[in-house]
Amino acid sequence: NPTTMTQQLQDLAPEDLLLEIINIESTTLKEKEVYEFLHKYLSSSGWEVQLQQVEENRCNVYAHRKGFSNPSILFNSHIDTVPPYIKGHKDETNVYGRGACDAKGQVVAQIKAAEKLVKEGIEDIGLLYVVGEETNHIGMIKANDLGLQPKYLIVGEPTESKLIRRQKGAVMITVDCFGKAAHSGYPEMGDSAIEKLVDVLADLKKETWPVSSDGSITTMNIGTITGGVAVNIVPASAKAQLAFRIIGPQDDILKRVQEIAGNRATVTRNLGNDPCDLYAPEEAGIPISIVAFNTDIPYFKFSGKPMLLGGGSILVAHNPEEKISISELHQCIDLNVQLVKSVL
């Protein structure tokens, strides 16, 4: 009986509901089963639920209470995870598995917080769970078509239960070098693209990148390098992909990379957003911090105030040991309730 099954799910402790959701694989592009699960779970507990198609077999989930189709408070997180999929399990302390803290644990904490608020008669709240946050923010970009204008957007990511006042920006850059192929016995007849790339990367590594007045630093990660076709051929092309976490305008970083590369490489920006100041009211009584990771927040167009809060640590996200402690999961439910009450 589907009704009994859903009732059983609603009666689960938060950690057990989280385990159910972790055990539905939803690496980016494979989110279908998890949004169908959430649709069923929320519809059966008094939410009006809409699946918003983003691409084939990829939908955002938007839920609100009857009569509150454009709520003042909108909880949001993402339902896709990074690969590889890791099945969930728990012990007496933690829940483990892919998405435990990034970000299925946040989805559960927000839903459970919303259920508590509704029980107390606070119904001016919505839930928005999107696909594609881990790659290109396609779900959040599409969510703008829903026309929501909340006063407060509460985004769930692993912030160690702190309210975040600023998130770093990010810019993803590709550096392409081109040369001329030749027999490796006669390297003077060719022009090695890999050697050019190595030189450009060495110069980028030597560069002093901007630091902000509060000590936040710009960081560069050389994420991938590809090039050449065979060991005995001088390589005609080579490419590196770089991820910068930035404290100032992304255009400044792009320009500086182009200056350093000069005529040795073609530099292309793939994706980027500037840093983001967030709303972190002290009266909420939650510790305040800043984060170096990126979120969907810059991609949601609204005139209200964005807030960022969640349980667990980003340091174990994207990691084989991903986990959230059961006590922090429960605490996060209460913090979400506390945060909503502090701004109402």
CA atoms within 13 A on the CB side of 203: 15
| Phi-psi region at 262: left, alpha or beta (left = phi > 0; alpha = psi -120 to 50) | left
Q: Per the residue annotation, which of 15, 25, 31, 133 is the catalytic one? A: 133
The CA distances from residue 234 to 109, 184, 186, 230, 322, in Å, are 55, 5, 9, 8, 42
Residue with tokens 């980028």: 204
The secondary structure of 289-337, three-state, reads EEECCCCCHHHCCCCCEEEECCCCECCCCCCCCCEEEHHHHHHHHHHHH
Q: Answer yes or no: 207 catalytic.
A: no
Rounded to the nearest 10 degrees, how much is the dihedral formed by the CA atoms of 15, 288, 317, 151?
A: 70
Residue with tokens 């970083």: 253
Burial of 121 per CB tally in 10 Å (0-12, 13-18, 19+): exposed
Between the two ends of the chain, the Cα-to-Cα distance in Å is 39
Count other Cβ atoms within 10 Å, centred on residue 215.
Answer: 8
- Residues with catalytic annotation? 133
